[in-house]
Amino acid sequence: MAGSRPRVAALRAALPPALAETVDAFEAYLEHERSHPPTTLRAYVADAVLLLDHLTRSGQDRLDALDLSLLRSWLARQRSTGAAPRTLARRAAAARALTAWAQRTGRRADDPGRDLASPKLPAHLPRVLDVTQATALLDTARTNRPSPSKAAPAGAAPPRATAPGETAAPPATPDGASPSAANSDATMSGTTPPGGTSGNAPAGIGPSGVGPSGSAPSGSAPGGSAPGGSAPGGAVSGGAVAGGAASAGAGAEGSVGESDPRAEAALLRDVAVLELLYATGVRVSELCGLDVDDVDRERRLLRVVGKGNRERSVPYGVPAERAITMWLERGRPTLATPRSGPALLLGVRGGRLDPRTARQIVHDRLRDVPGAPDLGPHGLRHTAATHLLAGGADLRTVQELLGHATLATTQIYTHVTVDRLRTAYRQAHPRA
């Protein structure tokens, strides 16, 4: 997508004035009225530009000349150039949004997009970690620096050797971390330059953490439990986190070294990222957008602003709380600068943590877990939902926790509950 942005910008600049004004107004509508997140906004606007460029190539320069046949020929052209089914589905949705908006605002009399069908998507089950792998991920992050990346992200320059505590000095982006700043941030946390996916897997998302039943599957919480009982929230490995007081010697300080406080701070932040992603199932953009005041430490709740500016409260468990405490007390003050503002999670330059850096944290940490699939932050979100349902949480509760607008989106996770369904059948059916 990054490589196509200059091309889209050039196509947008070449549109006739009337169509260029249409794109500007459509973008303002998506941003201010629909409150689309930045990634969706950019994708929909780019799709609108490509569609209107297709319109001009057909010899038309008026929006009301856009009909169903042109919409279908545009999608057919996209398919012939190798666009994936999910990309085609999104572009069809963007086209429908454009024509529906144009009709409502009087820019055209009808809505041809109403009859535009999306391509059928193949059935896709998300890859997730099992309970053992989730436990290993959090245990490893708590005690070790991640292994160096085996391959740089596509299009990335070869990594330059960086001394401990060294940072580059490129101009920062509005979110507090430019691509090279994220590289520097990744170096400080023992990861490679950005290009992967963000993630944090808080222990505590286990069914006992937020599921209504309060019981973990097969007698264990997703994060694992210490002998003799588990802490609320499905504590991982007895609930030790982030080099806590009981394990500081073998935890963050033991693996990073007291001589490198910024690297230790980055390690504590990485643990907080992983713990929170797994404990809450939030999106990486939601995680990086959290402020310190969005964390209710007393009740262990996050105030999350999701898609469409919809706000929800998400609980987290004791292990995630310990990781947050260690980060706020020992990590954040080390990285904080006047530019940090209220951001909960920071990059090594002091700005708000970039989602790209968070993605790379997850990829690098999972590399140290034997047999674990290469997942990003969204994979941890899938894992959280899967473990919740397996532990007895109902679908409606998981929908609320994940911030899904419709229950249909949450139903993708029901494939993991076959064993639970079989157990319920045996217990409830008189002829089982």
Catalytic residues: 283, 307, 378, 381, 404, 413
Round to whole Å and give the CA distance between 7 and 85.
Answer: 22
Token representation of residue 295 = 């964390």
Round to whole Å and give the CA distance between 98 and 108.
Answer: 11
Contacts of residue 352, defined as CB under 8 A and 6 or more positions apart, other chains included, come to 175, 176, 177, 288, 289, 340, 341, 343, 345, 346
| CA dist 382 → 112, 260, 311, 378 (Å) | 36, 35, 20, 6
Under a CB-based contact definition with an 8 Å cutoff, are residues 117 and 86 in contact?
no
Contacts of residue 39, defined as CB under 8 A and 6 or more positions apart, other chains included, come to 285
Q: Three-state DSSP class for 301?
A: strand
Round to whole Å and give the CA distance between 159 and 153.
Answer: 10
Give the distance, in angstroms, between the CA of residue 285 and the centroid of all CA atoms in the same chain. Answer: 6
User: Which helix or strand (DSSP H or E) is residue 312 part of?
Assistant: strand 311-315
Q: In what order do the strands lie in the sheet with 301-305?
A: 295-296, 301-305, 311-315
